[in-house]
Structure 1
Amino acid sequence: MQEHYRKWYSHHLGRDIEMLVYGDWGYPVLLFPTTLGRYYEAKDFKLIDSARWFIENRKVKIYCIDSIDRDSWYAKHLHPSVRIQNHIFYDKMVNDELVPWIQHECQVGKIAVGGCSFGGFQALNFAFRHPEKVAHLWSMGAKFDIKSFMNGYYDDNVYFNNPPDYIPNANNDQFYQMKIILGTSEHDFCKPANYAMSEILNRKGIHHWLDVRPWGEHDWPVWREMFPHYLSTI
């Protein structure tokens, strides 16, 4: 299984960004890490191993991007307006720098995005902010309301990055073309958030699969079971 380390300077972030890429060819999957996670997290917790067959058989090419959570959502030393602005710079890096590179490298118009836990929020938020670039969306054990990170602060930037707020009022034909899976499990503390998001999508007529596994908690064994299943739906 081919693994490539990449690093580049992001002009939106003003810093280097690191990434691990698995496979030499296949449909591109952009994977966001969990809370404060790094680009090697999916490897360390064997999520990549669970996808080995798809990578080695050139079905998918997986891009594991770094996070900047320490300077955005979890930067308690910064004012909430700065935290959300830093996330917007991260979103611009992904949308303007990374995804066009992936599209060119894999010769596709749209990509797949996914993530576990907080990475699932990142994936869903990116997909609904930029649906013209996303064909497949998978969240695994995610919650989607980020207002608790803002200490009561609220502005347009928070609104447009809080999916339970902006999705009900958003209209885009591309929403109805995405293949969406909301993954959770019976004892996952994020299960209610997935039911709530599923209801939001149902009210808008956005087709999706609410996948509730009958066992397991909010942890990697469940996500390692989900991930190859979701890859098989491409």
Structure 2
Amino acid sequence: MPKATPPTSQPSQPSQPSQPSQPERRPGPGPGLRERKKIKTRQAIRRAALRLFAEQGYEATPVDRIAAAADVSTSTVFRYFPAKEDIVLTDEYDALMAEAIRERPRDEPPTASLRHAVVGLLGPAAGAEREELLARLALVRQVPALRARMSGGLADSGTLLGEALAERSGRAPDDFEVRVAVGAVLGALREAVFHCLDHHHLPTATTASTTRATATRADAMTTAIDRALDLLSRGIPL
């Protein structure tokens, strides 16, 4: 990764107590009833869509059929997902990753913090969401329209990750080094995921996966991500 490692905080006088490497954070209030209903509806639409994509294929599945399977109106689908591609591409993971980075020790290298944030989404604790994430990633790799639209989502991801890294390093989110570091990391993660999809036969729109297979494929993706981030941290030696 390009040199964007945040400096370790040190006391200015020997008599002062050392500063903690990680700020204390108090958990905020959970989502209210209205927000929980929105999350539930969004998840129902996405799960119905993924099920239909697996059965019929992405291109052959219209939005009105997704709406019927999720027991909502077509206008409701478009209210939550402005385009069909967004059903696959949008999620709540960016905010979770940014928060996970903020919770890591400030003196930890950014690549290590990012590794913890990303791999957490692929670990056993993710449960059924892990299989869903793998299926979505496979669809992105297979469908040109999804790959074309993904660039906008990566820009949003970069904004959130840049803000989190900027807080850790005391830099501005639009700092040159922060922007380059985020761009390098996102590019490396994308290529690691695509490489794994190409070589480890992750779940596709027509391939069922068992719990064991999902775990094996998630482990393969974790290994690919580790390799990519390690390559960045070593200055990309070729």
Class of the TM-score when normalised by the shorter of the 2 chains:
0.3 to 0.5
Between Structure 1 and Structure 2, the one with more strand by share is: 1
TM-score by length of 2: 0.34
Report which structure shows greater RCO (CA 8 Å, sep ≥6). 2
Between Structure 1 and Structure 2, the one with more helix by share is: 2
